[in-house]
Structures are given as C-alpha cells and as structure tokens.
Structure 1
Amino acid sequence: MKQNPLITYPERREMNPHYHDYATAVKKVKNILKKHLNTEVKQYQSEEELQSIFGTIKQMLQENDKEIEVIASVYDHVSTGTVYYTSEENYRVIPSLINNIFYFKKHGVAMVRIPIYQNHEDFEEDFIFAKDDESMLLFLQDMIETQRQSMTQGITIFTDTDDGVVRHREKITNQVPRADVLLNDDMKTDIFRSIDEFFLKSGSFFKKYDIPYKRGILLYGTPGNGKTTLVKSIAGSVSAPTVYWQITENTSSYSIQEVFSTVTKMAPMVLVIEDIESMPDYARSAFLNALDGATSKEGIFLIGTTNYPEQIDPALINRAGRFDRAYEIKQPDDTLRELYLRKKGLERFLDEGVLHHLIQKTKGLSIAQLNEVYMSIALQWHYEEPINIDKIVDDLLENQRRTEKQDWNTDDYTHKLGF
C-alpha cells in the first residue's frame, strides 16, 4: 500500500534545515537516474548489505569491470578519486566510493555514498535506487555471487579497526603445496581429508551420512611451527572463498556481526580466526552467539588458531558445534627437522655427518628457528667458511632463552643484538 509522506521536500525548510540539505542531494540523484532509466526510481535501505556491496564495488573498480559506470558526482568540492598503492603497478587512481553515483547497467540499479555534514560532524550515508523491487533483489543476488567469485581469487583479510571492519584481498603469490606442510602424517591426512570432503566433493560425504554440513577445527601450539603455512595451503587448495579475520582491541559486537553476516552469505567457504584467544572480554558473549549462529548454517569451515590455548575461554571449546577437533602443532621431531633442513638444501654447505649432527643439535627448535639456522649457515658459508654450526645454534638458543626471560642486560651479549 502506498503511503503519503507527512512532510515533503522543500516544505517548511525552517522546521528541519538538516533534512533540507539531505533531501536536496537525494533529489538531485533521483533526477539524474530518471534521465538514465527513463522512469522514476525507488529508494531502498539495507545497511548491512550496502556495506558489503561497497566492498565489492571497490574490487570491481580496481579490476576495471565494465558493468559498473560512474554517471555523476554529488558535490563539486568533495573528492571524486582515490589514490592507492599496488605492488604490481605502484600507484593507481580509481573513483572514490564517496560522492560518486555508481550505475549498474545490467540491473538498472544505482548506489551512492553521500557525505553528510551537520552539527559540526561529518559522516557518510549509503543509498541504493532501482526501478522496482524485482530489479533490486536480482541485483543483490548477483552482487553476492560477484563478491564470492572475487574472493576465490585470493585471501580476504578482515581487520577490526577504529573505523570498523577494514577488508582487503591478498593474492596467493606463493602457493604452498601440501607436500611442503610439515606435520605428523596422521594429522596431516586427517585435516586435508576433511577439507577435501567439505569442498572438493561438494559435501556429498556429509549428505550421504547425514552429518551437518559444517566443520570447526582449532590449531594450537607454540609460535613458528607452521599454523599459518597450513592455513595458506588450505586456502590455495580449495576453490572457495577464504576469509582471514584479525581480531584486535577494536573488535566489538558490531564488527563481529558484520564479519559473520558476510561469511554466511559466501558459503561454502573457509573462515580463519587468527589468535582466537585475543578476543576482548567485552565482546566474547557476542562472539559466542555469532559463532553458534554461523556454524548452525551450512557451508562454514571454521579454523581457529592460537599460540596460547590456556588463555581461550573454556566456553569456546567445551560446547559441541563450535570446534569439532583440536590439533596441536608441535615442535618438529627428528624426522620433520631432517625433512625441513634437506628441503632447504643444506647439503650444499654440509656433509652428511655434520648434517646429522645439526639435526640432533636443533632439537626443540621451531620451524621458524630452523629457517634462521639455515640463513645463518648460508651467510657464514658465503662470507667466511668453514661453518661453525655449534656456535650458530648455541647463539640462537641463547637468544631464545633471553627473549623468554626478558634478560638482556649482560655486557657479554648486548653488543650482538644489532638494534
């Protein structure tokens, strides 16, 4: 049923001057859209959806998508372009998400983020226009699919900031083959088998055995032993969106809602929550509620990582449906250390006897520390030769001990720090 508004523009400006300024901009936008579509347009509101769609618009602009067109700007003295840096092209300019009217020719839909200035403050408000409801709904469905396809081209990073959730996409430039993931064979088989059943076979295993189509695993252990490498390998081996969510001190119920609202629309997909124990106390209740809501929907493969499992809220792992399995990523044993060091090519610098001694000498070191051992050996070989592996490893162990104890103030060691 059509409703008649109580107050019409420009009626009684003195009653609400702020509305007059607001309505002037919207009226101008509607007029130019009427010329484009040769018909009146309807104005819609969907705050949650629009925030997500503007992220997709940014991606489309960066990729020079011809489906999107800038037909006008709103204000003359508000910027219409944004400069950003890319590793491939240095600097590029794309239309600003603020103050430009974006028109989608296929659907006859337009979006604009208008800057609003009132009461000595400024903010932006999002508007969407379409000729009818059907066009609007088809547009939203297509934009979700566009966003999903875009997200499969890399890893989407969500970071909680003062200004809300900031997202960007990182291309997977260095694919991590599964063979390069250093884990216990049984654990590695178990994790990748569940990944394959979840994504590569369209969840047929879950349907066949009447298992809810969702999965949650927790990766825990000391830093530097391959949790991130495992996640990168998973992300690169599935043709599904991967979202990497970085929790910060700015994480709130609002950012939690935004993240989970996005990922549930992208299913089937992978959601990685890094350093899950760092969730602020004031946001934990909202997080647990959102987590239950997300995992109750099909298609979410949830991966949590932590270096400090003892700090995790027990409610997170003591309730079925949040995390199904917890895997400890341990310090590499003799077999894994040898495998890693041989993959690095230490045979170029060391004979077999010295290499075996090094494998035993490095017991208790992480994968990251083994990489530092390799770097030090390569540098010493390049500049000095012969190589003193005992001194290299002992110095690394001493540095590790002092880091853990925060014990730096000794005359015989401070000159080695270099900073």
Structure 2
Amino acid sequence: MESIISFKNENNQSASGYPALSMIVKGILDRLESTYNETYEVFTINEYHFELWSLFEEDLMTNNDQLEHVAMIVEKMERYSFTYDAEGDEPIYKVKQALSNNVYAYREQGIAFAQIPIMDGAHLTNVECVFATSSLAMERFLETIKGRLWQKSRNELLIFTDGMDGLNHEHQPITKRVKREDVLLKHEIKEEIYQMLDCFFEEDRSFFETYQIPYKRGILLYGPPGNGKTTLAKSIAHTVDAPAAYWQITEFTSSESIAQVFQMANRLAPIILIIEDIDSMPDGVRSYFLNTLDGATSKEGIFLIGTTNYPEEIDPGLMNRAGRFDRGYEFALPDESLREQYVHEKKFDKLLSSEEIAAVIKHSEGFSFAQLNELFVSCALESHQKGTVDLYRLIKRMKEDHKKSKTGKWQEEDGQLGFY
C-alpha cells in the first residue's frame, strides 16, 4: 500500500512545521476520497477529546471489523507496534496495529482517524486529526461514543495524570474489586457516605427534584496517609453503578488540564470524579480551580471526591464556601476497635497466637492501616526465614522508625542511620 508521504516525491521532504502538516492533511483527504469515493473534511486537530481516541484505540486493539486501515502516512515508518499484556494467567506480548503514522476509517459511518508524526524542532510529536464526510456523520458518530464510553467506564477506572507534556489519560480495568465491607471506617461515617452516593446515582433523581437541590455533591476525605482514603475511593468507584475518573494532582497541573478534566466529567455525567492529593494543587492555578468549582454547570451531575493527607495545607476556600466541597470526613488513625477488625481480617492468626494478636491490637496504638499491613509482612518474612516471630522487637522497631520519620532525625548516636 502506497504511503501518503513517499520518498519518491522530493517535495515531500522539503516542507516542515505547519506547511508539512497542511500537506499531509491534504494527502490524507485525497486518499480518503480516492478510497471511498466520498469527500472528507477535517473536524478536529489536536483538540482534547480523549473519548474519541479511547474507543478508536480499543477498536484497533480488538480488530473491530468496522475499522479499516487506509494508508501509512510516512513511508518506511511504523506500521505495527507491540504491548505487554500483564492481565490473565499468562502475561504475553501482543503485536498490534500502530496508532501513530497511520490512517484508519469507519467506512460505514464516514469517519476517519489519523495520528500524524511531525518534527517540532528536535522533538517528534503526534498531531491527532479526526475526519468526517459531513457534520451529520460526525454528530451521529459522537452520539454512539458517549453511550459506549459510559458503559466502558463502568468496568474500568479512567485515570488522568498531569505530566510535562500535558494531561495524560488511560483506562485501567477493574481487576481487583474493593467491596464495601473491605472498607474499615467508623460505621456512622461509612454509612453516611454510601447512602449519599446511592441517593445521588438513583436513576430517577427523585430526591434532588423533590427538594429542588442542585444535582452535584462534593466531599473531602482528609487525614494522615495509610488510613483508608484511597481504599474508600476505590470501593466507591467499583461498587457504584456509574463511571468513575481518578485524577492525580501533580506539580504539572495547569488551568488547561483543569478545564479538560471538568469538560470530560460534564460530557460523561453522572460520574464520580476522584481528585487525589488535592493539597498538591500548584499555587498558580488554585484560583482557577476554585472558580471552576463555582461555575454554574461545572459540577452538574458530578459527585466530587477530594483526598488529602495534609488538610492544613488545603485552601480554606475549599471548605468554607458552599458548592465546593459540601462535607469533610476525617480519616483518623484507627482506634482499638478498628485495629482489632483489621488484624482479624488480615489473618494475623496464621502467624501469631491469640495472646500475640491481643498484644498487636494493644501495642499498635498510633499505627495506620498501612503500618499494620507492614507489620504483618514483617511477621510473615521473619516466620518464613527463621520459623519464629519476635513480635515485640518488630513493633518496637516500627515505632522507632515512625518516630524518626516524623522528627527527621535519622542518625543514631553511634553514627548509624535509622534503617539498618
């Protein structure tokens, strides 16, 4: 199959930048017309419509028979790629058709996709283009997209991460479901949160219509790390009959990525949007984020969940103004009752006697769930290697290490570091 850009044509090698993009797009349009005897137009160039590309890529991976390969863009470059599939009993490599440098079309729908490789200075970038035979064809295709993506998102978690090159997204299959009973939390708080969620995602929305309450909610989960905030968020994503998106705030979060995430949430609503480490929001975009939350339609149909390990660093405006985060729930260090529940669910009895288990519950005051898990791993390792467990030494060591991490004093008097 002849490529759009061939080395036989010397003019193809002389253009760069925007003129090169224009030349390639024209070549794609000509190829689509000659292949299907229909005139196509460009509808988007590098606009952020992740849902279009997510489902197109899924169809490409699954060899959807409605999707046809039209042409390679640059001769001698990639036609195929490969991935490592870690799911299933036997992880394997899979060869697939390459997304970049190729033109694909849904012939019956009159829609085509292309990722065009362009040199930007010393960097190779991909320009994403979507083509259609008419506005009506584009509208009909988009109508099918929302329903498919909503169903897809119910079985997968949509992950957004802000990186140096902008907002990245991926779908992660829900392989290990976190059930509601797996969440260790004070009963009254746990019950209140789940009742709120179930009410929000009722199909008839009768509660909100009866009491004329805006169809949007926001809760903030705060407290020291390792005490179940993320576990609760995963359980919500896995057990509520609605799509869920997880957004990791980083130093690269920008006003552009904030706008993109909320535009996505609006298109998929009703949806759960989990914002992890909200205290990490860069100072330069906090005002934009707050203004986005205040927008009249920015949260319509969105159940917003924010998490933070450092509530003291949260902008007071997030909690002190209605319509942003409506409620805050503290995830404190587990009390004795919750520690006992965790110890029994973790099956400490495989390693320890009943007396030792009672000692774990009593002497682990101040431990988070994550630290209790580490204690279990340490006990298992010692039992496996030595055939016995020195429980009190392990607890003492963990308390000493935790104290050092809080004070920042890692050096011992004998000159050794705290971990040895």
Please, what TM-score do these two structures have when normalized by structure 1? 0.88
Contact 2:411-2:417 at 8 Å conserved across structures: no
1:42 paired residue number: 41
> 1:38 corresponds to which letter in structure 2?
N
> 1:73 corresponds to which letter in structure 2?
M
1:33 paired residue number: 32
Deviates more, 1:89-98 or 1:154-163: 89-98
Q: Deviations 1:211-243 (Å, cap 9, x if unpaired)? A: 211111100000000111111111110232211
Q: Secondary structure at the match of 1:150?
A: helix
1:78 paired residue number: 77
1:11 paired residue number: none
1:66 paired residue number: 65
1:3 paired residue number: none
Contact 2:224-2:331 at 8 Å conserved across structures: yes
Q: Give 1:341 deviation, angstroms.
A: 0.4
Contact 2:16-2:119 at 8 Å conserved across structures: no
1:116 paired residue number: 118
Contact 1:130-1:136 at 8 Å conserved across structures: yes
Say if 1:43 and 1:373 are closer, same or farther in 2 by CA, change over 3 A.
closer
Q: Give 1:275 deviation, angstroms.
A: 0.4
Q: Which of residues 232, 236, 240 is equivalent to 2:242?
A: 240
The 2-side partners of 1:301 and 1:380 are apart by 44
Q: Give 1:291 deviation, angstroms.
A: 2.6
Contact 2:217-2:326 at 8 Å conserved across structures: yes
Q: Give 1:296 deviation, angstroms.
A: 4.2
Q: Give 1:373 deviation, angstroms.
A: 1.7
Q: Give 1:210 deviation, angstroms.
A: 2.0
Contact 2:262-2:298 at 8 Å conserved across structures: no
The 2-side partners of 1:413 and 1:352 are apart by 39
Contact 2:109-2:137 at 8 Å conserved across structures: yes
Corresponding pairs, count: 404
> Superposed, which structure 2 residues align to 1:7-406 within 5 Å?
21-45=20-44, 47-48=46-47, 50-88=49-87, 89-117=91-119, 123-293=125-295, 296-406=298-408
Q: Percent identity?
A: 40
> 2:188 corresponds to which letter in structure 1?
D
Q: Deviations 1:100-156 (Å, cap 9, x if unpaired)? A: 112113411112222334777654433322222111111122223322222222111
Say if 1:224 and 1:252 are closer, same or farther in 2 by CA, change over 3 A.
same
Contact 2:17-2:120 at 8 Å conserved across structures: yes
Deviates more, 1:311-320 or 1:36-45: 36-45
Deviates more, 1:371-380 or 1:243-252: 371-380
Contact 2:271-2:302 at 8 Å conserved across structures: yes
The 1-side partners of 2:147 and 2:108 are apart by 15
Contact 1:74-1:100 at 8 Å conserved across structures: yes
> 2:55 corresponds to which letter in structure 1?
T
Contact 2:158-2:171 at 8 Å conserved across structures: yes
> 1:24 corresponds to which letter in structure 2?
M
Q: Secondary structure at the match of 1:24?
A: helix
Q: Give 1:401 deviation, angstroms.
A: 0.5
Q: Secondary structure at the match of 1:340?
A: helix
> 1:193 corresponds to which letter in structure 2?
Q
> 2:390 corresponds to which letter in structure 1?
N
The 1-side partners of 2:134 and 2:18 are apart by 25
The 1-side partners of 2:403 and 2:145 are apart by 52
> 2:62 corresponds to which letter in structure 1?
E
Contact 1:269-1:301 at 8 Å conserved across structures: yes
The 2-side partners of 1:295 and 1:360 are apart by 50
The 1-side partners of 2:101 and 2:23 are apart by 14
Query: Which sections of structure 1, spanning at least 5 residues, go unmatched?
Result: 1-15
Q: Give 1:319 deviation, angstroms.
A: 1.6
Q: Give 1:409 deviation, angstroms.
A: 1.4
Q: Give 1:309 deviation, angstroms.
A: 0.5
The 2-side partners of 1:417 and 1:250 are apart by 33
Q: Secondary structure at the match of 1:32?
A: helix
Say if 1:225 and 1:34 are closer, same or farther in 2 by CA, change over 3 A.
same
The 2-side partners of 1:171 and 1:181 are apart by 20
Q: Deviations 1:197-219 (Å, cap 9, x if unpaired)? A: 12254533222332211111100
Query: Which sections of structure 2, spanning at least 5 residues, go unmatched?
Result: 1-14
1:7 paired residue number: none
Q: CA RMSD in A?
A: 2.5
The 2-side partners of 1:349 and 1:252 are apart by 48
Contact 1:154-1:169 at 8 Å conserved across structures: yes
Q: Deviations 1:222-270 (Å, cap 9, x if unpaired)? A: 0000111111111110232211111111111111122111121111111
Contact 2:217-2:303 at 8 Å conserved across structures: yes
The 2-side partners of 1:19 and 1:388 are apart by 68
Deviates more, 1:121-130 or 1:141-150: 121-130
The 1-side partners of 2:249 and 2:112 are apart by 33
> 1:29 corresponds to which letter in structure 2?
I
The 1-side partners of 2:388 and 2:19 are apart by 80
Please, what TM-score do these two structures have when normalized by structure 2? 0.88
Say if 1:153 and 1:413 are closer, same or farther in 2 by CA, change over 3 A.
farther
The 2-side partners of 1:30 and 1:311 are apart by 52
Say if 1:294 and 1:87 are closer, same or farther in 2 by CA, change over 3 A.
farther
Q: Secondary structure at the match of 2:322?
A: coil
Q: Give 1:299 deviation, angstroms.
A: 1.5
Q: Deviations 1:367-400 (Å, cap 9, x if unpaired)? A: 0111122222233333435533222211110010
Q: Give 1:18 deviation, angstroms.
A: 6.6
